[in-house]
Homo-oligomer: A and B are copies of this chain.
């Protein structure tokens, strides 16, 4: 087994209390004793048992991160952000995946009544409709921060991005860049994600007294989309700005621009929402709207630690809407690929 305080105590003919204090560099221990303790500790590779001290101090110095999955880059980057803050604060990170299952989410959260963690960072599953399981741990005094996928009705800290605002900003960006004929490429208008983005576009145009909104409806079928966009790019008054509401629309755009000899971004400025960032491999000169996953992770973690460390900190007051990142790329600075 690993070496413990009693081992040091026996070896040095001191009491465990003395060792404990010495290791904490307490002022009530003589310099000489501390020296001896430190030396032996280093020599024997002593590492305090965190669970024993945690039991005593009623703190685990660990947080839980509950995610649906870590398939795309968003949650991956978020983990990076969370871990980096946690590390700085001296906390450890437990990770749990719900696999989009509400049942699993429930059982995971219930576990947290046990004192295993000091706080929870959660992005709820796609199946989650009710929030009593979250309310329960909060009621038990556990700090909780929602992150990306939130429960609207739970009064605790939330960190999200704003689809409306992102799209609004993208529109302003294009207008400022000189576009006067911007088309929004929508997906199924039923999706709330799409309608928010579309509204942002409309508002952006309106607030700038610009052109009327011009929405082209795309579909789930790629061949069909190709046809639709071709029509758009060959019509008499061709658009000089495009907002792609989902990443996969960038492929037909790119291909058609090659085919029709339209250069991006000189003749056509394209902004696309993107999760995979795969679009950049194709079109390095694309302007992208990405969720700043790393920053969101850091922000969420920071708030959580405030909630953990300051007992009177009111998490329910915290609602952080982080703007998406509008990243304009020149062909030289991209990690993507450029072709003649």
- By a beta-carbon cutoff of 8 Å, the part of chain A in contact with chain B is 1-2, 45, 47-52, 54-55, 58, 60, 62, 69-73, 75-77, 79-80, 83-84, 87, 92-97, 99, 110-111, 113-116, 136, 140-141, 222-223, 226, 248, 251-252, 255, 258, 276-279, 281-282, 337-340
> Which of B113, B114, B222, B276 is within 8 Å of A278, CB to CB?
B276
Contacts of A62 in B (CB 8 A): 94
- Would you call B73 and A80 a contact (CB within 8 A)? no
Q: Once the chains are docked, how many angstroms separate the CA of A223 from the CA of B258?
A: 15
Q: Once the chains are docked, how many angstroms separate the CA of A226 from the CA of B258?
A: 15
For A258, give the chain B residue with the smallest CB separation: B255
Q: Once the chains are docked, how many angstroms separate the CA of A248 from the CA of B87?
A: 34
Q: Once the chains are docked, how many angstroms separate the CA of A1 from the CA of B77?
A: 34
For A230, give the chain B residue with the smallest CB separation: B340
- Given A276-B278, A281-B251, A339-B223, A2 contacting B140 (CB threshold 8 A): yes
Q: Once the chains are docked, how many angstroms separate the CA of A141 from the CA of B282?
A: 50
Q: Once the chains are docked, how many angstroms separate the CA of A29 from the CA of B58?
A: 31
Contacts of A69 in B (CB 8 A): 80
> Which of B115, B251, B258 is within 8 Å of A49, CB to CB?
B115
Contacts of A2 in B (CB 8 A): 113-115, 140
- Besides the contacts A51-B54, A70-B76, A92-B94, what 15 more A-B pairs have beta carbons closer than 8 Å? A47-B110, A47-B111, A49-B114, A50-B116, A70-B80, A71-B73, A87-B96, A222-B339, A223-B339, A226-B339, A251-B281, A251-B339, A252-B339, A276-B281, A279-B281
Q: Once the chains are docked, how many angstroms separate the CA of A51 from the CA of B110?
A: 16
Q: Once the chains are docked, how many angstroms separate the CA of A75 from the CA of B251?
A: 27
For A256, give the chain B residue with the smallest CB separation: B339
For A226, give the chain B residue with the smallest CB separation: B339
Which residue, A69, A136, A141, has most C-beta atoms of chain B within 10 A? A69
Contacts of A248 in B (CB 8 A): 281, 337
Contacts of A72 in B (CB 8 A): 73, 76
- Given A51-B55, A339-B255, A113 contacting B226 (CB threshold 8 A): no
Tell me the smallest distance from the CB of A102 to a CB of chain B, in Å. Answer: 16
21 contacts between A and B (CB under 8 A): A1-B58, A47-B114, A48-B114, A49-B55, A50-B114, A50-B116, A51-B55, A51-B60, A51-B116, A69-B80, A70-B80, A80-B97, A83-B96, A84-B97, A84-B99, A92-B94, A92-B96, A93-B94, A222-B338, A222-B339, A278-B278
For A3, give the chain B residue with the smallest CB separation: B113
Q: Once the chains are docked, how many angstroms separate the CA of A16 from the CA of B71?
A: 45
Q: Once the chains are docked, how many angstroms separate the CA of A254 from the CA of B66?
A: 39
Tell me the smallest distance from the CB of A208 to a CB of chain B, in Å. Answer: 33
Contacts of A94 in B (CB 8 A): 62, 92-95
- Would you call A95 and B114 a contact (CB within 8 A)? no
For A44, give the chain B residue with the smallest CB separation: B113
